[in-house]
Amino acid sequence: MSRWRVLLGVLGVAAMGWAAWLVLSGGVVTPPVAVAIWLAAVVIAHDLVLAPAVVALGWLATRVVPARARAAVTVAFLVCGSVIVMSAPLWLGQLLGRLPTANPSVDPWDYRRNILLVTAALCLLVVGGAFVSEVARRRRASGETPGRADPLPPNAPRG
């Protein structure tokens, strides 16, 4: 194991310890019971929603997506899932009609629409990237070089 990995692990554990201290010593702002309920909800949501969805998407991807595009699709799943999960408190609050505070400027954007736009843009990037990659692969396989008008190889006799 590299020294960097150990150092990053130690820093991660220290950051989690500091965060736990702040949560547990927060008093009225962060009551430990509410934190425990939130953590339990996260575990339940992971085990009952997120993990089965990932398994189902992976199973579907192996049957539908061509092998050459699976890596890009996997990255898209990972990024979209991370964006959706990390922004869940914002768009779920809007979906349920609750804001995190009485101040409406705390949650001013339409997060449901923005999540759809971000995931749609990511999907378009993945599809576009897979298309460009496939076109480049086919050109390489056929020996065609991009931008070259002359179909003859450079060392072919001309005449």
Query: Which residues constitute the domain of residue 73?
Result: 69-142
In a domain, 13, yes or no: no
Residue 76: other Cβ atoms inside 10 A: 20
Asked if residue 95 and residue 124 are part of one domain, the reply reads: yes
Residue 131: inside a domain: yes
pLDDT digit string, tens, across residues 69-128:
888 888 888 888 888 877 777 777 777 776 555 556 666 677 778 888 988 998 899 888
125 and 77 share one domain: yes
Same domain, 59 and 90: no
* Same domain assignment for residues 49 and 83: no
Residues 108 and 81 in one domain: yes
Residues 134 and 75 in one domain: yes
Total domains present in the chain: 2
On whether both 57 and 73 belong to a single domain, the answer is no
Q: What confidence tens digit (pLDDT) does each residue in 26-68 have?
A: 655 666 777 788 788 888 888 888 888 888 988 888 898 888 8
On whether residue 16 sits in a domain, the answer given is no
Q: What is the CA radius of gyration of the chain?
A: 25
Asked whether the whole model's pTM tops 0.75, one would answer no
Q: Give the 3-state secondary structure of residue 103.
A: coil
Whether residue 52 is found in the same domain as residue 76:
no
Nearest 5°: the CA angle 93, 99, 104 is: 140
From 64, 90, 111, the end of a domain falls on 64
Tokens of 137: 């692969």
pLDDT of residue 27: 53
Do residues 123 and 82 both lie within one domain? Answer: yes
